[in-house]
Chains A and B, each alone.
Chain A
Amino acid sequence: MSSPATDSREQRESHGEYHRPAIHWLRHLGENWAIYRSNPMGLIGLGLLVMFAFMALASFVPPLLDPMYHPMSGVDPEIDRSLGPSARHWLGTDFMGRDILSQLLTGARVAFIIGVSAAFMAVAIGTLVGMVAGYFGKLVDTLLMRLADIVMVLPGLLVILILSSVFGQLSVWNLVIIVGLLKWAGVSRVIRSQTLSLKVRPYVEAARVAGASHRRILMRHILPNVLPLSFLYMTFGVTSAILIEAALSFLGFGDPSTVSWGMMLQWIWKTGHMFRAPYWLLPPGICISLITLSFYLVGRAMDEVLNPRLRKEVLEQ
């Protein structure tokens, strides 16, 4: 047998730790966190997100304390109009005497649910379509991409407005599904080009030569390399979904059975309190902007984690 590749002990140790996949994955996470952490924008974004998550969880608390704090049905027996902040209502009350803070917290919850679900759906569909189109090519690719083109070109907001005027008020979950169905096209294009470039990599060809089935190649070789991109697009998708929901609610097409920030803005406007009650107007507006910003910042920082070329080398002095 020809000379073996003998690694000296020092070589083995310095080639980096080599552990079972699970431990390696955790270590991978640790390294990625270090990279993420070095980006101040990412940390701000993450901090904001944590704050909003906390708000969403905290939304369950006020009604338990006292029924009058319920965002929809809570009525303060002593107040029947919009008043500024007080000891009892930290942010004040809306035109019906309902607590604004409680509504704000619930709005956070709704924003997360809608945002994340709709984005997840759009990205899941987009990734699947992109992978299939890119991998199989030819007719399948042409058909799917033309479909994506059509969907991409549809005026989303208009479609939703038309649908809601035809079918009546849309519930939160209807909205999630519709947004998901409208937003997958952009993701699919990007995933498709990534798939195209992965398809010709030698290790994929090696799998083909070994006789791997299409399913195996897609799941084992293409999908794991495409997922980082999908995650990235999810963060962008969330901001999009939240803004759409806010816009719809503002226009009066939201789900009347829950409170959302957009809904709050609608009430402010409809009841003529736009310029009269800043304590009511500002919180939801600021929250919408901030949550959008936070997801965007997280997305930007994630980009650095996922794309090694963007990283700055951490030096030892």
Chain B
Amino acid sequence: MSLLRLEDLTVHYLTARGSVHALEKVSMELGPAEALGLVGESGCGKTTVAMAIMGLLAPNARVLEGRILLEGQDLLALDTEAMRALRWKKVAMVFQAAMNALNPVHRVGEQILEAILTHDGQMTPQAAARRLEELCAMVGLEPARMRDYPHQFSGGMRQRAVIAMALSCNPSLLIADEPTTALDVMVADQILGQLRRLQVEMSLSILYISHDISVIARSCDRMGVMYAGQLVEFGFTDQVLENPLHPYTQGLMRSYPQIQGPRRKLEPIPGEPPNLLDPPKGCRFCPRCRDNGRSCPSERPPWREFDDGHFALCHRVHA
């Protein structure tokens, strides 16, 4: 039984130079209290997926096809009012570099309270204060620090504050877009640990979005790999990491220098991602792929299941 389900989501952005094919038939699902990670490099469309779920796509975006089902309800079919009511209550998001979005002239506690009260105007001040304390405990902040201003908080603390704001209304789904970029390695580790605890304790589902595979590896039960607007691989994290099927995933894993093991030469993927104003007709990864077949340049690859729950978008993969 899935909490969130995307079916064939296709989104284009209209610009002065033409249509940018940002997403093409993206399908995935996420269960309750589960962590799903979307990994991909810049321009692959992962943030667009997040924005589509939140109903925050830019004005020049057009959803050409697909459904986004949250607890069975199609979010794309809702009007703005209905979406606004749902947003933050059922699904909340922590944006990229959100810690920089805290208002520098208001105290941190005030800002979190504002998030609490905006979505539940009926709350009494005492109830709100109690909720604030609860949230602090959840994210690992000291209630005594709530009277500080954002610049007095470290990067990690600010990120926790933003997470607290997102959790204020007890959503079922939290979207975390690059939650640890710009944080030091040790602080990032703590934040990810905290999020994992929340997932378990609050039965919260989390959708992680990151360009860094290691963040996904650490935190997610299932993961999807995105490239040029398409989902090219999907499955349980262990499955995908131990046995990557898609040549892009394989190439990506070969691009990371390792701390463990022997020092081997990195074999980066040659070239650059395609321009989405005019993406390749067949497989979008074909121009950079080592293992091309006859149908790769001309036909869209099939989305096939290999192992139980492990999918890949490729002509050439064999089970």
Question: Could you list which residues of chain A lie within 8 angstroms of chain B, going by C-beta atoms?
Answer: 2-8, 10-11, 14-15, 313-317
Q: How far is the CB of B254 from chain A (nearest CB, A)?
A: 12
Q: Contact between B272 and A316 (Cβ–Cβ < 8 Å)?
A: no
Q: How far is the CB of A226 from chain B (nearest CB, A)?
A: 27
Q: Contact between A314 and B16 (Cβ–Cβ < 8 Å)?
A: yes
The list of the 5 closest CB pairs from A to B, nearest first, reads: A3-B270, A14-B275, A314-B16, A6-B271, A11-B275
Q: How far is the CB of A39 from chain B (nearest CB, A)?
A: 16
Dominant secondary structure at the A interface:
loop
Interface flags for B258-279 (1: CB within 8 Å of A; 0: not) read 0000000000101110110110
In the bound complex, how far is the Cα of B60 from the Cα of A315, in angstroms?
A: 7
Q: Which residues in window 123-145 of B have CB below 8 A to A?
A: none
Contact partner of B278 (CB less than 8 A), chosen from A3, A14, A315, is A14
Which among B14, B15, B271 has the highest number of chain A CB atoms within 10 Å? B271
Q: Give every chain B residue within 8 A of A6 (Cβ-Cβ).
A: 270-271
Q: Give every chain B residue within 8 A of A313 (Cβ-Cβ).
A: 15-16, 60
In the bound complex, how far is the Cα of B287 from the Cα of A5, in angstroms?
A: 12
Q: Contact between A14 and B277 (Cβ–Cβ < 8 Å)?
A: yes
B257 at the interface (CB under 8 A from A): no
Q: Contact between A7 and B278 (Cβ–Cβ < 8 Å)?
A: no
A316-B15 CB under 8 A given contacts A3-B268, A8-B287? yes
B72 at the interface (CB under 8 A from A): no
B309 at the interface (CB under 8 A from A): no
A11-B272 CB under 8 A given contacts A313-B15, A316-B15? yes
Kindly report which residue of chain A lies nearest to residue B15, judged by CB atoms: A316
A-B contact sample (16 more), CB < 8 A, given A6-B271, A315-B60 = A2-B268, A3-B268, A4-B270, A8-B274, A10-B278, A11-B272, A11-B274, A11-B275, A14-B275, A14-B277, A14-B278, A15-B275, A314-B16, A315-B14, A316-B18, A317-B14
Q: How far is the CB of A313 from chain B (nearest CB, A)?
A: 7
Tell me how many residues of B have a C-beta within 8 Å of chain A: 16
A7-B270 CB under 8 A given contacts A315-B15, A315-B60, A317-B14? no
Interface flags for B8-26 (1: CB within 8 Å of A; 0: not) read 0000001111110000000
In the bound complex, how far is the Cα of B17 from the Cα of A314, in angstroms?
A: 10
Q: Give every chain B residue within 8 A of A315 (Cβ-Cβ).
A: 14-16, 60
In the bound complex, how far is the Cα of B19 from the Cα of A6, in angstroms?
A: 24
In the bound complex, how far is the Cα of B268 from the Cα of A73, in angstroms?
A: 84
Q: Contact between B16 and A7 (Cβ–Cβ < 8 Å)?
A: no
Q: Give every chain A residue within 8 A of B268 (Cβ-Cβ).
A: 2-3
Q: How far is the CB of B312 from chain A (nearest CB, A)?
A: 24
9 pairs of residues in contact across A and B, judged by CB atoms under 8 Å: A3-B271, A4-B270, A7-B272, A10-B278, A11-B275, A14-B278, A314-B16, A316-B14, A316-B19
Kindly report which residue of chain B lies nearest to residue A11, judged by CB atoms: B275
Q: Which residues in window 183-236 of B have CB below 8 A to A?
A: none
Q: Give every chain A residue within 8 A of B18 (Cβ-Cβ).
A: 316
Q: Which residues in window 18-42 of B have CB below 8 A to A?
A: 18-19
Q: How far is the CB of A80 from chain B (nearest CB, A)?
A: 64
Q: How far is the CB of B117 from chain A (nearest CB, A)?
A: 32
Q: Give every chain A residue within 8 A of B19 (Cβ-Cβ).
A: 316
In the bound complex, how far is the Cα of B16 from the Cα of A6, in angstroms?
A: 26
In the bound complex, how far is the Cα of B17 from the Cα of A10, in angstroms?
A: 14
Contact partner of B275 (CB less than 8 A), chosen from A4, A10, A316, is A10
Q: Give every chain A residue within 8 A of B14 (Cβ-Cβ).
A: 315-317
In the bound complex, how far is the Cα of B278 from the Cα of A8, in angstroms?
A: 12
In the bound complex, how far is the Cα of B16 from the Cα of A14, in angstroms?
A: 13
In the bound complex, how far is the Cα of B15 from the Cα of A313, in angstroms?
A: 8
Kindly report which residue of chain A lies nearest to residue B277, judged by CB atoms: A14
In the bound complex, how far is the Cα of B270 from the Cα of A4, in angstroms?
A: 7
Q: Give every chain A residue within 8 A of B16 (Cβ-Cβ).
A: 313-316
Q: How far is the CB of B62 from chain A (nearest CB, A)?
A: 10
Kindly report which residue of chain B lies nearest to residue A14, judged by CB atoms: B275
Q: How far is the CB of B276 from chain A (nearest CB, A)?
A: 9
Kindly report which residue of chain A lies nearest to residue B272, judged by CB atoms: A5
In the bound complex, how far is the Cα of B15 from the Cα of A38, in angstroms?
A: 16
Q: Give every chain A residue within 8 A of B271 (Cβ-Cβ).
A: 3, 5-8
Q: How far is the CB of B12 from chain A (nearest CB, A)?
A: 11
In the bound complex, how far is the Cα of B272 from the Cα of A11, in angstroms?
A: 9
In the bound complex, how far is the Cα of B270 from the Cα of A60, in angstroms?
A: 68
Q: How far is the CB of B202 from chain A (nearest CB, A)?
A: 39
Q: How far is the CB of B22 from chain A (nearest CB, A)?
A: 15
Kindly report which residue of chain A lies nearest to residue B269, judged by CB atoms: A3
In the bound complex, how far is the Cα of B277 from the Cα of A314, in angstroms?
A: 16
Q: How far is the CB of A72 from chain B (nearest CB, A)?
A: 54
Q: Give every chain A residue within 8 A of B272 (Cβ-Cβ).
A: 5, 7, 11
Q: How far is the CB of B43 from chain A (nearest CB, A)?
A: 12
Q: How far is the CB of B247 from chain A (nearest CB, A)?
A: 15
Interface flags for B270-298 (1: CB within 8 Å of A; 0: not) read 11101101100000000100000000000
Q: How far is the CB of B246 from chain A (nearest CB, A)?
A: 19
Q: Give every chain A residue within 8 A of B287 (Cβ-Cβ).
A: 8
Q: Give every chain B residue within 8 A of A10 (Cβ-Cβ).
A: 274-275, 278
Q: How far is the CB of B44 from chain A (nearest CB, A)?
A: 16
Q: How far is the CB of B223 from chain A (nearest CB, A)?
A: 27
Kindly report which residue of chain A lies nearest to residue B271, judged by CB atoms: A6
Q: How far is the CB of B250 from chain A (nearest CB, A)?
A: 16
In the bound complex, how far is the Cα of B16 from the Cα of A315, in angstroms?
A: 5
In the bound complex, how far is the Cα of B308 from the Cα of A268, in angstroms?
A: 95
Kindly report which residue of chain A lies nearest to residue B288, judged by CB atoms: A6
In the bound complex, how far is the Cα of B19 from the Cα of A317, in angstroms?
A: 10
Kindly report which residue of chain A lies nearest to residue B279, judged by CB atoms: A10
